[in-house]
Amino acid sequence: MFQKDIETMPRNKIEELQLERLKWLVDYCMKNIPFYNKRLTEAGVTAEKIKSLKDIEYIPYTTKADIRDTYPFGLFGQPMKKIVRIHASSGTTGKPTVVGYTKQDIENWSDCMARICVAAGANDEDIVQIAFGYGLFTGALGLHYGLEKIGATVVPTSSGNTEKQIMLMQDFQTSALVATPSYAQYIGEKAKEMGVLENINLRLGLFGSEGCTIEMRDQIEKTLGIFATDNYGMSELMGPGVSGDCHYRCGMHINEDHFLAEIIDPNTEEVLEKGSQGELVITTLTKEGIPMLRYRTKDITKINYDTCKCGRTFARMDKIKGRSDDMLKIRGVNVFPSQIESVLMSFDKIAPHYQLVVTRANYSDNLEVKVELADGSLLENYGELEKLRGNIHHNLKTVLGIDTKVSLVEHKSLERFQGKAKRIVDLRNNNG
Ligand code: DLL
């Protein structure tokens, strides 16, 4: 472990520390950030009012809209003189979400990342290629600092230029790859095509930044000959570093000394009982640059508070089931893309590349699941193709409870991704 004393703290100690930090945070926000001062004053919250962790419920939620409305620096807790780094995440519309870090924030971020990298199995003998995009995106620099902190050799290739990535991987004998799972998948496919898969010596994949089902992960692991872990975060909260898998991969350990997690019902906003599935809400307990009070992540998960077999006491969150705003409502039924991915991955003859196209006709939603054939061998055999299509359709119906249109498309006809995959095409607003 990177910081064993902290990572194995008894639960009552974790909660004591969280309470102390929560009080500090409320006071800090009142003093340094006019936006929060107004919000908290209106809600009648002061540091003195926070007597137990449950009292966090007095504090109003913060949303992405609050960050947008105070663009660019309105939620910063320190003057620019103290801010040493800025990152931003681009949304689909409008201005990016801008975040700032003090020196201490960068130090904490590096610690959080170092813990996650060690928990995943990385060490100072690893040569790690970081194939997340460097730049305003938090992914690359977050992992970069954490990996340097544990003494690994960092190769900052950034994303893209896949053939060169593969060349360097062979020449440097890179042992670990940091990437989105979809980019790792593409790297594997490309290396196979180049006939160099067996010259690659990767052992570890540090994935994150987008969802990936266990079935998809298994396939990528098999192709690249690696053991892959997941880690979760978001720009508004820090970047990567909020939580990550240990080698047991039974939930991502939340760095609870820096983040206080709650699960709420996204519709009623009510806090749910421990162990329930719902929207993750995070309060940053130590951040100075841009602290977040009860930030609504929109990500759906559940949290397990039992001590893990690895000895870490930090609670573990399940893989993200989907974003509450990514969840597709098809004819009134909630459908998470991850459910579809799980079904598709159970078929051999299709490649792990798919796209979900949602349209509306005659006031009814239609979901088309486009999935690539693994190769050209089935194209000659109509009967087999139809059988495969029928089986996929049947399994999707069993899991989702709705009819979908399954289209088998030619190998390599769907887009590949170097960052986060975009698998949903929702055309419902376009055609009424
Ligand atoms: O993606 C931070 C990050 C970088 C995390 C690298 C892990 C590794 P954003 O670009 O702000 O930040 O996107 C945040 O991505 O709300 C989730 O919906 C999604 N996301 C992040 N990690 C995971 C994950 C970074 N492990 C948004 N599984 C979040 C599923 C994830 N979704």
Could you report the per-residue pLDDT of 159-193, keeping only the tens digit for each?
A: 999 999 999 999 999 999 999 999 999 999 999 99
Residue 241 pLDDT more than 60? Answer: yes
Question: Which two structure tokens, joined as six digits, stand for 339?
Answer: 């459910």
β-pairing, 127-130 vs 204-208, is: unpaired
**CA of residue 420 to ligand 1 center, whole Å:** 9
Whether 180 is in the pocket of ligand 1, judged by its Cβ within 6 Å, is no
Q: Going edge to edge, which strands form the sheet with 364-373? A: 405-409, 364-373, 350-361, 424-426
Angle formed by the axes of helices 103-120 and 138-149, nearest 10°: 70
Q: How many CB atoms lie within 10 A of CB 7?
A: 21
Whether 239 is in the pocket of ligand 1, judged by its Cβ within 6 Å, is yes
Whether 211 is in the pocket of ligand 1, judged by its Cβ within 6 Å, is yes
CA nearest neighbour of 402 among 410, 411, 394, 414: 394
pTM of the full structure: 0.89
Maximum CA extent, the chain = 73
Residue 431's pLDDT band, with cuts at 50, 70 and 90, is: very low
Q: Name the closest-CA residue to atom 32, ligand 1.
A: 210
**CA of residue 155 to ligand 1 center, whole Å:** 22
**CA of residue 240 to ligand 1 center, whole Å:** 7
CA nearest neighbour of 217 among 165, 179, 255, 191: 179
If you count them, how many residues does the chain have? 432
Residue 240 pLDDT more than 80? Answer: yes
Residue pLDDT, tens place only, 14-40: 999 999 999 999 999 999 999 999 999
Alpha carbon distance 181, 213 (integer Å): 10
Residue 311 pLDDT more than 80? Answer: yes
Residue pLDDT, tens place only, 40-57: 999 999 999 999 999 999
333 or 2: whose pLDDT is higher?
2
pLDDT at position 332: 79
Residue 93's pLDDT band, with cuts at 50, 70 and 90, is: low
Section 218-222 average pLDDT: 96
Alpha carbon distance 16, 42 (integer Å): 27
pLDDT at position 45: 98
Residue 244's pLDDT band, with cuts at 50, 70 and 90, is: very high
Q: Give yes or no for a cis peptide into 72 (omega within 30° of 0).
A: yes
pLDDT at position 430: 56
pLDDT at position 432: 39
pLDDT at position 361: 85
Whether 108 is in the pocket of ligand 1, judged by its Cβ within 6 Å, is no
Section 260-265 average pLDDT: 98
Ligand 1 atom nearest 207 alpha carbon:
8
Section 139-148 average pLDDT: 98
pLDDT at position 330: 87
DSSP 93: S
Q: Name the closest-CA residue to atom 9, ligand 1.
A: 234
Percentages (nearest 5) of helix, strand, coil residues in the chain: 35, 25, 40
